[in-house]
């Protein structure tokens, strides 16, 4: 079975944006009214522009940041994505000084698609595990 167009978009999102840091690709992959409902960050303004500094900050704090897509479940215009996030905390990360520690955490994400582009995003990260791995708790 070949991957759907929506699934291919999601794989590009993780590979090109998060793994390679190509924030310019967000303009192609997200709708102009994209909504980010992530619990960790205040909801940015609609559209791809407010996600770009988040990606840059994550990649500055964790230069070898890598998302591995472990599973995708697709139902019409919605995809649930299970990911593993790894990397080394080598730079400042949202005000936290570099620890040099490795991270290895899981995330669940739900992406809503419209006309082949991501229009809404929800993400839950095991943030307690992340903080423990960084020696913060």
CATH number at residue 15: 3.10.450.50
pLDDT tens digits, 50-83: 999 999 999 999 999 999 999 999 999 999 999 9
Report the C-alpha gap between 111 and 118 in whole angstroms.
6
pTM for this prediction? 0.91
Q: Per-residue confidence at 115, pLDDT binned at 50, 70, 90?
A: very high
Q: Quote the domain boundaries for residue 86.
A: 5-133
């Amino acid at each position: 079975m070949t991957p759907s167009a929506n699934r291919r978009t999601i794989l590009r999102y993780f590979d090109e944006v998060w793994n390679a840091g190509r924030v310019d690709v967000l303009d192609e992959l997200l709708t102009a009214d994209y909504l980010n409902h992530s619990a960790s960050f205040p909801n940015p303004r609609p559209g791809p522009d407010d996600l770009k500094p988040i990606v840059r900050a994550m990649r500055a704090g964790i230069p070898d940041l890598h998302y591995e897509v472990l599973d995708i479940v697709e139902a019409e215009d919605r995809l649930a994505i299970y990911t593993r996030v790894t990397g080394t905390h080598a730079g400042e990360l949202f005000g936290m000084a570099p620890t040099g520690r490795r991270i290895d955490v899981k995330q669940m994400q739900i992406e809503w698609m419209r006309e082949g582009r991501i229009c809404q995003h929800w993400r839950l990260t095991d943030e307690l595990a992340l903080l423990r791995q960084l020696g913060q708790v």
